[in-house]
Homo-oligomer: A and B are copies of this chain.
């Protein structure tokens, strides 16, 4: 894990917590959406998107993102990370969305029809609120 992430942050990000990701449109408008995420062993964060989303195009143009992770049980703690998508990969066989789905729902991802894309976020900064 990178040194920017304390043990406490790693523990929090490793849980299946609700999260919101922000990207920026080419005209400068920020756009947020709820997202599943998964902290990988190398300290990067995996997110996964429908391959046909407009957001994908915007993120390829400007890979900077911000992710806020909330506590599943209330407002007592939340963490915001700023970073950049440093790797893209077509999610062949939907292996990555299945990993995310099993993390959150303990089951494979139900929609097998639409192609998806995985992205890995390199964390530049992390801010923690609460205990």
- Bound CA span A75–B37, Å: 13
* Residues in A50-91 with C-beta less than 8 Å from chain B: 62, 64-68, 70, 75, 78, 80, 82
Q: How many residues of A contact B (CB 8 A)?
A: 27
Q: How far is the CB of A75 from chain B (nearest CB, A)?
A: 7
Number of copies: 2
Q: Which residues of B contact A23 (CB under 8 A)?
A: 30
Q: How far is the CB of A77 from chain B (nearest CB, A)?
A: 10
Q: Which of A20, A31, A80 is most buried by chain B, counting CB atoms within 10 A of its CB? A: A20
Indicate if the CB atoms of B18 and A66 lie closer than 8 Å.
no
- Asked if A28 is an interface residue, CB under 8 A from chain B, the answer is yes
Indicate if the CB atoms of A32 and B68 lie closer than 8 Å.
yes
Indicate if the CB atoms of A20 and B65 lie closer than 8 Å.
no
- Bound CA span A23–B23, Å: 10
A105 (CB) vs chain B CBs: closest residue: B75
Indicate if the CB atoms of A70 and B129 lie closer than 8 Å.
no
